């Protein structure tokens, strides 16, 4: 799913508004942490959601440009 970062929390969590209007919490995937990819408010991102818990997801990609 794709969405936009609305709020960044201190512990590496982010509040995300998905394109379908739902809101979820997300954290950066291990590879994004390893390469120190920065995510700021307003960035477009791709999120993997678990079918078991739709309120949490893993951020896998930050789209370039605005």
pLDDT tens per residue, range 12-58: 899 999 999 999 999 999 999 999 999 999 999 999 999 999 999 99
Number of domains in the chain: 1
* pLDDT of amino acid 66: 60
Helix, strand, coil shares, percent, the chain, to 5: 10, 50, 45
Here the tokens at position 27 are: 């954290």
- Record the pTM: 0.89
For residue 46, the domain's CATH number is: 2.40.50.140
The parent domain of residue 36 ranges over: 2-62
* pLDDT of amino acid 18: 97
């Amino acid at each position: 799913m794709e969405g936009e970062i609305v709020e960044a929390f201190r512990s590496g969590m982010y509040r995300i508004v998905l394109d379908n209007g739902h809101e979820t919490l997300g954290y950066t995937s291990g590879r994004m942490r390893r390469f120190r990819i920065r995510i700021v408010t307003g960035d477009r991102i791709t999120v993997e959601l678990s079918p078991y818990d739709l309120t949490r997801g893993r951020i896998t990609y930050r789209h370039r440009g605005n």
